[in-house]
Amino acid sequence: MTVYRGFVADTPDDPFTGAPLRAETDAALLVRDGVIVERGSAATVLADNADEDVVDLEGGVLIPGMVDTHVHLPQVRAIGGLGMPLLDWLEHRALPEEARLADDAYAKGVATDFLDGLARAGTTSALVFGAHFSGAVDELFAQADASGLRITSGLVVSDRMLRDDLHTTPERAYAESVELARRWHGHGRLRYAVTPRFALSTTREMLDACEQVVRDVDGVWFTSHLNENPREIETVNELFGPGYDDYLDCYDQHGLLGERSVLAHDVHPTDRELQRLAATGTVISHCPTSNASLGSGLFPMRRHLDAGVRLALGSDVCAGTGFSLLKEGLQAYFAQQLLAGVGVPLTAAHLLWLATRAGALGLGLGDEVGDLSVGKAFDAVWVRPAEGSTLAVNLQHAVDEPDAVARLFALGTPGDVAQVWVAGSPLL
């Protein structure tokens, strides 16, 4: 058994319903077989366990492993494409890079870069948009299995409006998805997610094939994009036509909404869509740096909360500008500030909740990870800035624990992540 001692901060209860941050400057966690078995003040836990190894996490902050609910595997090498709205950015920046993953050797290097990027940013669980090529997705799963990260992913499928080399057929999409799910779904910490790229690039027949995979493979997840950009939404409405109420209805009519469904963005929802998201328990992955970078808009968080829609956070690399969910939390805060009058005033507790426990709940991992309570796996991140760095100076001058966590979100980067554990095993 090991005792981890330091400044521990987490959010076991929802700040959106008024719960406070839980933080203690000199706390300790006793971990046995990767699970937290005791938690308390350092004095108490150390006195109870005088013979156990102690890992002293002095300086910095220990937070739960972060949970990224929307991030793209094939885009890790294409971050920073600025100045284009969604559809132009896809054509000129994202899709040419995604086509390179047809080459298994290239895909192997990308998977390594991608999983490294997650771990170094302190992300321990993620719902990952895979590649359009089953070899690349198989490679991601194999490397994820070896890494220990909690990864849910799948083959991205599309049959129109991208580029020919990224298209497939509904029959082939079904066969390859089922085969990947058979190999990886439920294997260790891995799970399969049925992943049509977005309604714009999938015919009704392709969505039928997706529905069939969801029906045929027990417990699989579903993920896609929703209401990101006005031109995208207009095109989806034209393609699907009058038989469909709106963008969300394209997924809904094909049986693809529910508590294991996660849709990214939803920057421009209708009230009907919000009601339907809430009624089905579908999760929205809010991707703040992506929304800002592509000029997609300011996320209407208040309307989502009022409607009772489940929310979590996504980095959306590479429209998003990096893997750090600290940065996403800060940008979520900025976006709400800019929505003068109708924004949600987010506190440090909200940001930590969104980056950790909200994601764990959104991905159905709430019983295992997302906070550092007794009974949870020790998935944790030690943010320990270099001595003399502006973050270190600011942590020293924090007036209280919530202020320290606010400074962490304001200034923390992957460069400040000193160690990351999944179920008690260090990743760095």
Q: In the complex, which residues of this chain contact ligand GUN (CB under 6 A)?
A: 72, 86, 90, 94, 197-198, 225, 228, 290, 316, 319
Name the residue whose CB lies closest to ligand GUN. Answer: 319
Nearer to Zn ion, 151 or 264 (CB): 264
Q: Which residues contact 78 (CB under 8 A, 6 or more apart)?
A: 93, 94, 97, 318
CB of 76 to ligand GUN, least distance (A): 12
Binding partner of residue 260 among ligand GUN, Zn ion, none, CB under 5 to 8 Å per kind?
none
Residue type, 350: H
Nearer to ligand GUN, 11 or 227 (CB): 227
Residue 371 CA to its chain's centroid (Å): 15
Helix, strand and coil in the chain, % to nearest 5: 45, 25, 35
Name the residue whose CB lies closest to Zn ion. Answer: 316
Instruction: Give the tokens for residue 297.
Output: 């808009």
Binding partner of residue 42 among ligand GUN, Zn ion, none, CB under 5 to 8 Å per kind?
none
Question: Other CB atoms closer than 10 Å to residue 400's CB: what's the count?
Answer: 11
CA dist 283 and 298 (Å) reads 18
| Distances from the Cα of 88 to the Cα of 75, 76, 81, angstroms | 15, 19, 11
> Which of 113, 36, 40 lies closest to 72 in space, CA to CA?
113
Binding partner of residue 189 among Zn ion, ligand GUN, none, CB under 5 to 8 Å per kind?
none
CB of 115 to Zn ion, least distance (A): 18
Nearer to ligand GUN, 195 or 419 (CB): 195
Nearer to ligand GUN, 90 or 101 (CB): 90
Binding partner of residue 228 among ligand GUN, Zn ion, none, CB under 5 to 8 Å per kind?
ligand GUN
| Distances from the Cα of 16 to the Cα of 12, 119, 305, 344, angstroms | 12, 28, 8, 10
CA dist 372 and 381 (Å) reads 11
Binding stretches for Zn ion (CB under 5 A): 264, 316
User: Which residues make beta-bridge pairs with 312?
Assistant: 285
Nearer to ligand GUN, 198 or 382 (CB): 198
CB of 346 to ligand GUN, least distance (A): 22
Nearer to ligand GUN, 97 or 252 (CB): 97
CB of 322 to Zn ion, least distance (A): 14
CA dist 343 and 162 (Å) reads 35
CB of 291 to ligand GUN, least distance (A): 9
Nearer to ligand GUN, 119 or 131 (CB): 131
CA dist 143 and 408 (Å) reads 30
CB of 25 to ligand GUN, least distance (A): 39
Distance linking the first and last C-alpha atoms of the chain: 20
Instruction: Give the tokens for residue 210.
Output: 């997706």
Nearer to ligand GUN, 80 or 345 (CB): 80
CB of 136 to ligand GUN, least distance (A): 15
> Which of 48, 37, 44, 46 lies closest to 374 in space, CA to CA?
37
Binding partner of residue 197 among ligand GUN, Zn ion, none, CB under 5 to 8 Å per kind?
ligand GUN
CB of 229 to Zn ion, least distance (A): 11
CB of 69 to ligand GUN, least distance (A): 13
Nearer to ligand GUN, 248 or 411 (CB): 248
CA dist 177 and 137 (Å) reads 10
CA dist 22 and 35 (Å) reads 19
